[in-house]
Amino acid sequence: MNVLIFGPPGSGKSTHSRRIVERYGLVYVSSGDLIRAEIERGSELGREMKAYLERGSLIPDTIVNSLVISRLRRHRQNFILDGYPRTPDQVLALENYLYDHGMSIDVAMEIFISKEESMERISGRRICPNCGAIYHVKYRPPKVPGVCDVCGSRLVQRDDDRPEVVERRYDIYTRNMEPIIKFYKKQGIYVRIDGHGDIEEVWERIRPLLDYLSSREATSRVPPSAP
């Protein structure tokens, strides 16, 4: 089973991706993780990508495509793609790769939340700069306001978690994903999951769909009985 998962900032797609990986044994492929890992390695490609990010520029599709497709070649089947594709050129690269290898995407799943929900979830996030613990002023507040439960450090709000930044990120997501969603709708594999509610509520909207797809795939692999 091959899955695409996407959603606006704060939709919980990474949280649910981990659950999907655990339940269905899929390989998790995140374009963001691949980019960060390459930058941390200090490779020539990593330095090039870091320079783009420091300038505030988008990393070219050719570079992102190369990273993701290279990872997919190591697994071939049963993967979940998080954060890719995000542009029409990335869709084209992925579709060409899948076609060349006789593969396909089973479901393109969007976990959708409103702009208001996105802003509330992300702008309320607080992070400990010392130990990395993550809190939320509403959903997971520390015992002492503004202070980390683990190490006692003062919590901070990341620059890209500020409300005006979150609003801009949401608008960019909506604009960029519109043609991609239309493409997967035409293929008949796009599914919108209501991402409002707590983690368990959203998971119970996701799980039946993937259980069905997983069982259908398993049935298709069963050899026919002898006559």
Point out the residues that are catalytic: 13, 86, 125, 158, 169
Query: Which of 33, 36, 20 lies closest to 78, judged by CA?
Result: 20
Find out whether the peptide bond into 223 is cis, omega within 30 degrees of 0: no
Provide the greatest CA pair distance for the chain. 71
Residue found under tokens 């990474």:
14
